[in-house]
């Protein structure tokens, strides 16, 4: 999708979610739509060339997560990674692969694993799978 296409897709997603369409929101969502993998807040900030302060990015991401147009893909260490929510269902996210050598994360879109059956007394709200190993560049 081109930069202009991402911009219009972002506008449509914000409108459907009932969120105000502001330039900072459009910029953050466009960055996420252009990315081929989940991004940390720091990576999003770097791709915005510091046009938007980090507190604003944090608040935008929180609003996007609440509106379910973006979700936390997984937590690596203490850093959260974000991606558009349109590639995942409400209960299960596609698997993510993190290279243990270079640290890059890749989405395995279209791949699903059987949902885990919860033991008595547990309620699973969302299943996420993170795989680790070596990517083709590091093998």
C-beta separation of 83 from 38 below 8 A: yes
Delineate the domains of the chain, giving CATH numbers in brackets.
3-85 (1.10.10.10)
Smallest Cα–Cα separation from 96: which of 107, 82, 110?
107
Helix, strand, or coil (residue 77): coil
Q: Quote the mean pLDDT of the chain.
A: 86
Please report the pLDDT score of residue 77 as a whole number: 66
- The predicted model scores a pTM of 0.76
pLDDT at 79 over 80: no
Please report the pLDDT score of residue 62 as a whole number: 95
Smallest Cα–Cα separation from 17: which of 66, 62, 61?
66
Quick one: pLDDT band at residue 36, thresholds 50, 70, 90?
A: confident
Task: For residues 56 and 45, give the distance between their C-alpha atoms in angstroms, rounded to a whole number.
Answer: 10
Q: Return the structure tokens found at 45.
A: 């900030």
Name the phi and psi angles at 96, rounded to 5: -120, 140
pLDDT at 55 over 80: yes
Name the residue with higher pLDDT: 70 or 4. 70
Average of pLDDT values for 125-133? Answer: 84
Please report the pLDDT score of residue 114 as a whole number: 86
Residue 51, CB half-sphere, CA atoms under 13 Å: how many?
11
Please report the pLDDT score of residue 136 as a whole number: 95
């Amino acid at each position: 999708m081109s930069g202009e296409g991402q911009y219009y897709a972002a506008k449509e997603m914000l409108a459907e979610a009932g969120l105000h369409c502001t330039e900072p929101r459009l910029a953050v969502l466009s960055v996420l739509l252009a990315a081929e993998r989940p991004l940390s807040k720091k990576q999003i900030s770097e791709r915005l060339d510091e046009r938007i302060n980090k507190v604003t990015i944090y608040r935008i991401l929180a609003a996007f997560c609440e509106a379910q147009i973006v979700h936390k893909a997984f937590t690596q260490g203490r850093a959260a990674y974000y991606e558009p929510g349109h590639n995942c269902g409400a209960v299960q996210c596609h698997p993510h692969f993190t290279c243990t050598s270079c640290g890059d994360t890749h989405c395995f879109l279209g791949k699903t694993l059987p949902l885990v059956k919860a033991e008595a007394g547990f309620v699973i709200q969302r299943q996420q799978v993170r795989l680790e190993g070596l990517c083709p560049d590091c093998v």
